[in-house]
Amino acid sequence: MAPTSTSDNVFNKAAETIPFPDLARVSEINGTMLNETAKFNAQVGTAMQNIGKEWSEFVGMRLREDVQLFRTIQDCRSLQDLQQAYAQFWQTAFAQYGEEAQRMLRLTQGTVEDVTRAAQEARETTVHAADKAA
């Protein structure tokens, strides 16, 4: 049997004292984190799409209202008709903007609550996976 060298003894002693991570556990935790992150990102993406859809539908509606104003002005035959057209336009616009602000507020608040809940669930799942792996 060949004698062990001093450098082999030093390496063995270092290997005993340095804690090497269990790579299987680390991989399991990382996999859980990636899955939770993907689910979270998908949920945030869907929420942002819903907000964008709501806003773009509102803007489209308001643009149609703007075009209709020009048609109405074109048909006006008196100053009183013109005043009535503008008054109706602005009354409708203020009402619609107010309603849309309320819808966007509710939608955004719901989104923040959903995203917060999803983040907490992702954190709990990842912590649980880390505790289980430990």
pLDDT tens series, the chain, 134 aa: 555 566 667 666 666 666 655 555 656 666 777 777 888 888 889 989 999 999 999 999 999 999 999 999 999 999 999 999 999 999 999 999 999 999 999 999 998 998 888 888 888 887 877 777 66
Q: For the chain, what's the residue count?
A: 134
- pTM for the structure as a whole: 0.66
In the numeric block, which tokens belong to residue 126? 């990842």
Among 58, 59, 43, 56, smallest CA distance to 112 is for 43
pLDDT digits (tens, 9 = 90+) for 21-51: 555 565 666 677 777 788 888 888 998 999 9
At 24 the pLDDT is 58
In the numeric block, which tokens belong to residue 129? 């996976």
At 127 the pLDDT is 80
